[in-house]
Amino acid sequence: MRLWESFDKNEISLLIIFAAAYFAYFILNKRVNKQVRILGLLWGITIGILFDFTIGGGLLDFYRINDSNHYELFDILYYLDFGPFGFFFFYFYETLHINKKTFIFYAVAWAIIGVAAQWLFTWCDIIKLQRGYHLSYSFPVFLVVQTATGSFFAQVKKREHVLVKN
Amino acid sequence: MGFAFYFFVSWLITIIFTLMKKKLTFVENSLLYLLTLIININYSWIISFELKLVNLSKDPLDYTAFMINRSIGIPFILMVTFNLIKSVDSIGKSVFIAVCSICVQVLLLKLGTNFEITNREKWSIINDFIYFALLYVVAFYSLKIFRKFRQSEAISR
């Protein structure tokens, strides 16, 4: 595995995003059931990996991550960056008391955040869109992802206490 | 043919999982699914696209069949296995179930060559056995650690 091809804007940006996201995660996670917070992290990382290796690689190969199409050390950091956002989705769903009426707004808001994050990643040269893929195509992808995340979390909520007293 | 076969296997194992009496909780099953998916996607990517030890078909349907088995078949077989293991009371039976499950997983990968979905000339079947054995061990210990995190504090809702 390569570490990186050239240590520049994308690697530095990834380090900053990683530090900021996990800092926020460790601040917020104290109130959340340990199993649920682990699941939130895993959910985020899995969704990132699943979509990047499905539409971002293989036959479709719609975007390139970091400096090459091959696995680099910073690709792992990129996937780990998704983890806290899975947790944040769970956390704010619970603390904002999202219900059947407000879920549509919540899912759309997260889909917009997803597209904005992807624009930021493109601007930071972390991902490079290719083969005619346009940023707007990510909106339906994020809509599906956020809806699936909300449905999954609703199932978790039914069975587990999400917020706990310290 | 390969697409229909893997679609059927994934459908079947998903239905079996849905209908079976589950001994693991929802969050435990979710952990197993997510963890297996992360490991399996990375593993299959590394041996096929990075190391080029296993060549994948460029035919869209065959490639989809590979992804269905990668993302649904393999994780769900593992989840069904762990639920079955939890329902038996002896280590011998548990090991037997795990070994049978690993054999099914390896067989499903091996069948990929028959359907011309994968070309595994540079890849030994022993590697698949080792991979699945390690995957099951990692999943087993991850589940064990995850259970320790179970909290019963009062909720603040």
Q: What is the pLDDT of residues A96-133, one digit of tens each?
A: 999 999 999 999 999 999 999 999 999 999 999 999 99
Decide if A58 is inside a domain.
yes
- pLDDT tens for each residue of chain B, 157 residues long: 899 999 999 999 999 999 999 999 999 999 999 999 999 999 999 999 899 999 999 999 999 999 999 999 999 999 999 999 999 989 999 999 999 999 999 999 999 999 999 998 899 999 999 999 999 999 999 999 999 998 654 444 4
Decide if A5 is inside a domain.
no
H/E segment holding residue B56: strand B55-56
Residue of A76, A84, A106 whose CA lies nearest to A94: A106
Confidence of residue A66 (pLDDT cuts 50, 70, 90): confident
Pair of tokens at residue B138: 């990692």
Decide if A1 is inside a domain.
no
Residue of A64, A78, A60, A98 whose CA lies nearest to A18: A78
- How is chain B split into domains, by residue range? 22-145
Pair of tokens at residue B77: 């077989």
Are the CB atoms for B57 and B48 separated by under 8 Å?
no
Whether the predicted interface score ipTM is above 0.90: yes
Segments in A29-102 forming alpha helices (H): 34-54, 73-80, 82-95
Predicted pLDDT at A166: 61
Predicted pLDDT at B152: 54
Residue of A160, A90, A164 whose CA lies nearest to B25: A160
Decide if A166 is inside a domain.
no
Contact state of B151 with A164 under an 8 Å Cβ cutoff: yes
Restricting to A residues 5-44, those with a Cβ less than 8 Å away from any Cβ of B are 31, 33-36, 38-39, 42-43
Contact state of A159 with B25 under an 8 Å Cβ cutoff: yes
Separation CA B125–CA B114 (nearest Å): 14
Domain count, chain A: 1
Are the CB atoms for A99 and A123 separated by under 8 Å?
no
Contact state of B150 with A35 under an 8 Å Cβ cutoff: yes
Contact residues on chain B for A33, CB-CB shorter than 8 A: 151, 153
Contact residues on chain B for A160, CB-CB shorter than 8 A: 26-27
* CA distance, residue A137 to nearest chain B CA (Å): 20
Q: Which one-letter DSSP state was computed for residue A136? A: G
Are the CB atoms for B93 and B116 separated by under 8 Å?
no
Separation CA A95–CA B154 (nearest Å): 16
Predicted pLDDT at A71: 84
Predicted pLDDT at A165: 74
Contact residues on chain A for B60, CB-CB shorter than 8 A: 59
Helix crossing, A73-80 with A9-28: angle to 10°?
Answer: 30
Predicted pLDDT at B155: 46
Are the CB atoms for B100 and B131 separated by under 8 Å?
no
Confidence of residue A140 (pLDDT cuts 50, 70, 90): very high
Separation CA A82–CA A124 (nearest Å): 16
Are the CB atoms for B2 and B116 separated by under 8 Å?
yes
* CA distance, residue A136 to nearest chain B CA (Å): 24
pLDDT tens, residue by residue, A13-28: 999 999 999 999 999 9
Full domain range(s) for residue A24 = 12-159
Contact residues on chain A for B38, CB-CB shorter than 8 A: 42, 45-46, 49
Which long-range CB contacts under 8 A does A18-21 form with residues at least 24 apart? Answer: A18/A77, A18/A80, A18/A81, A21/A81, A21/A83, A21/A84, A21/A85
% of chain A with per-residue pLDDT over 70: 97
